[in-house]
Structure 1
């Protein structure tokens, strides 16, 4: 039973902590998890604080520790001081609903005898994290059947445990937290704004005029691909007409917005990466809001939301809005973080986090033609803190949409199923 359970738990933790990451388990109650995870180091909380060992860790695991601590706030505060800002804390707790079964398993010798003194609710965990300058990024509930029964265990734990309703009965809760930024930086990093443009000739000059500098040395990157109008010529002319602006241009090698965005990000040289849709339905004047949300430390992945403010009359058709709401709810369930509008084209993250995401892109593959989900899936798996910035969605004033409602809707359903297999039903 114990071996099966710890193998399950290691599978969930490996969703975040990859073999290439430095992983530390603090005050390990037993050695099973470390043995199965393989590359995990085990240290005491005192060693973590005194030696500053957490400063080089990508992930720090607390497996059940909070059940035993007399001073949880002091314990977490001590760990917090030794972690760098991009380290992730993985906190594993066990549901109080399972307390009688855990005690019975202990009596029967199916688990090591321990004295759990704290049985914590979600609100308790969130409160302790806030008190000790951690920020909760996401929470997963796992394991309905902690013992191995051929076929049945796999079906129950992989497909039933994550479902609404049933997940409230799960044994294991996994919380992903990040150290909250206590002091705001006074530096103003520069931005690479990437614009994928196909058949958008009439919008190029407006983009150059309306995208304002946010950092000291921003760059505007146009990537053109497969236009049937003179979009490329207008981009070249805009670069010539604006020598005072740092405008970088290129043609994409493949097809689709996702391919164009990836090429633009590969060409980018600044600290922050932004996507702006060339149709200007997201106003360029709103980009500083995204910039401020990232620079202030409120989050590490900034997603636009078109579904908060009233939108212009012809900005989004009714069926498109229903589809957006459905996919937002479905992907929020799969990803474990709330997304009100997964399909808003404006997304922002640091170049460093994007490079980490890109190095592990093979986990999901590169079949996303939109580019949105490549970033969303990767950010979710990395445990990046997500926040959405509401924008006022505008009508398109030039050209026609490059989105096919039914064909791309069907593709989104395929991607939803794929993401479920990779992130939720594992």
Structure 2
């Protein structure tokens, strides 16, 4: 009977984990409702820790492909490294949370994400009543922790929080009321403080991995009708690391751009240049296929209009190499802008989208449409598999990258870049035409993340 009462709520929690965690990853999962939380992730390797013997036996029988361990959370000793570690209400049930955090640190590699689910302390008395009425399983010890508490404890245990959000205003779907209340609450954010579920995404501090990350680099340059910029860009891109390539993604140019790239490849063999034809149309498509074809472990996009300063590329590489950031956007609004560099309507649009995304993604953004961005190839592979989930074609690819990075819980940051007027060719941006697509994507993304 209880399972029917709680099915709606447990389904919402499972949906959240499915949204955050990609399929076929290595997942270590502490604490369960009914086992669906881990089963739906189809993990390559899945390990579940459950101290309740009765629940453990039921899980083991129901999900034979998953390895379940029956022991106290504090006693489990990880023997492998995992892509995702989930603490499903665990910090509220333990008598030694730092011991658990120390243990899971041993199961982390540099890009591991730790997802912590915890009840909102404002619900303490409501949940106690729900246990007495049989709507909720009795769970024993309950440490009532605020978001600030958890954040501080994670910092003390060498974890860095990358994203925080809350869900579920009404955990029971009684006569359809749960769906109605929760719909209203995800549309209007001022209900967030009252929500039951607190989710915190964190990562191990980069200094725990002194060897850093791979030093191979792909500078991906998207071009269409940019013949006059090709040689200038190639000559000005600095040598940053030993294993470095320049990858041009050419988008059906009519001005001889591809022929110019082939000429420059022969003239500058030391630059390690490749070129590929874009199968579709639009910069978003060029970014997607170019990043997929990149050979470097760090990918930096540089737009072929030559309005950004190639010298800034090195700053992006260094921040990615040492692991301080996992997705970086350039910010064109730090240094004074030439009046010819960006029309005023574009400036207002960029500022609006930056404020909008900062508001609901929980990480500060300042220029979501900048011409230089950086990400690790392994993280982009996940975004590539989810490309198009927003339901609207992204004309530039910027929103797909940002949404994807936020969904994965990557550490997002900005680096100031210098920005100049065009000297060759015509701008590809159409503020009103493209603006409609971007607004639709901004709204769809808001609803998708909030829901």
Normalising by structure 1, we get a TM-score of 0.91
Matched residues in 2 for 1:119 and 1:375: separation? 36
- Residue range with higher mean Cα deviation, 400-409 or 177-186: 177-186
Q: Alpha-carbon deviation of 1:117? A: 4.2
The alpha-carbon distance between structure 1 residues 409 and 366, as it changes in their structure 2 partners (threshold 3 A), is closer
Structure 1 runs, 4 residues or longer, greater than 6 Å off: none
Match of 1:395 in 2: 421
Match of 2:229 in 1: 203
Cα root mean square deviation, aligned: 2.3
The equivalent position to 2:177 in structure 1, one of 145, 148, 152, is 152
The alpha-carbon distance between structure 1 residues 257 and 30, as it changes in their structure 2 partners (threshold 3 A), is closer
The alpha-carbon distance between structure 1 residues 237 and 284, as it changes in their structure 2 partners (threshold 3 A), is same
Q: Alpha-carbon deviation of 1:12? A: 1.1
Matched residues in 2 for 1:310 and 1:112: separation? 59
Unpaired runs of 5+ in structure 1? none
Matched residues in 2 for 1:160 and 1:75: separation? 33
The equivalent position to 1:84 in structure 2, one of 89, 98, 109, is 109
The equivalent position to 1:52 in structure 2, one of 79, 82, 85, is 79
The equivalent position to 2:220 in structure 1, one of 183, 188, 194, is 194
Match of 2:7 in 1: 3
Cα deviation per residue 1:353-404 (whole Å; 9 max; x = unaligned)? 2223223336446822212122222222222221121212222222221100
The alpha-carbon distance between structure 1 residues 32 and 241, as it changes in their structure 2 partners (threshold 3 A), is closer
Structure 1 residue 351 corresponds to structure 2 residue 377: yes
Match of 1:63 in 2: 88
Match of 1:369 in 2: 395
What pairs with 1:262-301 in structure 2 (closer than 5 Å)? 262-301=288-327
The equivalent position to 2:26 in structure 1, one of 22, 26, 29, is 22
What pairs with 1:232-381 in structure 2 (closer than 5 Å)? 232-361=258-387, 363-364=389-390, 367-381=393-407
Match of 1:179 in 2: 204
Normalising by structure 2, we get a TM-score of 0.86
- Residue range with higher mean Cα deviation, 108-117 or 172-181: 108-117
Q: Alpha-carbon deviation of 1:309? A: 3.0
- Residue range with higher mean Cα deviation, 259-268 or 285-294: 259-268
Matched residues in 2 for 1:150 and 1:61: separation? 32
The alpha-carbon distance between structure 1 residues 281 and 157, as it changes in their structure 2 partners (threshold 3 A), is same
SS in 1 for 2:428: coil
Unpaired runs of 5+ in structure 2? 50-70
Matched residues in 2 for 1:162 and 1:309: separation? 36
- Residue range with higher mean Cα deviation, 398-407 or 219-228: 219-228
Cα deviation per residue 1:318-377 (whole Å; 9 max; x = unaligned)? 221111111122233443433221111211112222223223336446822212122222
